[in-house]
Amino acid sequence: MTEEKYSAERISKLDAARRQLRTAIRLFFEEDDSISTYTLAAASHEIFRTLVKFKGGASMIKDSDFIKPEHQKEYEDFMNEPQNFFKHGARDPNKTLDFKAQSTPIWILDCIMMEAKLADHRSTRESTLFQYWFITEYPHLLKPGVTDPISKDLRQFIKSTGNSKGLFHMILQQPERYPLTDQTRRKTNRIRGA
Q: Is residue 35 very low, low, confident or very high in pLDDT (cuts 50, 70, 90)?
A: very high
Domain assignments of the chain as residue spans, ordered by start? 10-90+99-192
Please give the model's pTM, rounded to 2 decimal places.
0.82
Helix (H) or strand (E) holding 147: none
Query: Which is higher by pLDDT, 18 or 77?
Result: 18
Q: Is residue 52 very low, low, confident or very high in pLDDT (cuts 50, 70, 90)?
A: very high
**Interior angle at CA 18, CA 189 and CA 64, nearest 5:** 65
C-alpha span between 87 and 81 (Å, rounded): 10
**Interior angle at CA 88, CA 83 and CA 93, nearest 5:** 120
Q: Is the pLDDT of residue 191 over 70?
A: no
3-state secondary structure of 93: coil
Residues near 139 by beta carbon (within 8 Å), at least 6 away in sequence: 147, 155
Contact 61, 81 (CB under 8 A): no
Contact 192, 112 (CB under 8 A): yes
The string of DSSP codes covering 57-70 is ---TTTT-TTS-GG
Q: Is the pLDDT of residue 104 over 90?
A: yes
Lowest mean pLDDT segment, chosen from 4-13, 34-43, 89-98, 99-108 = 89-98
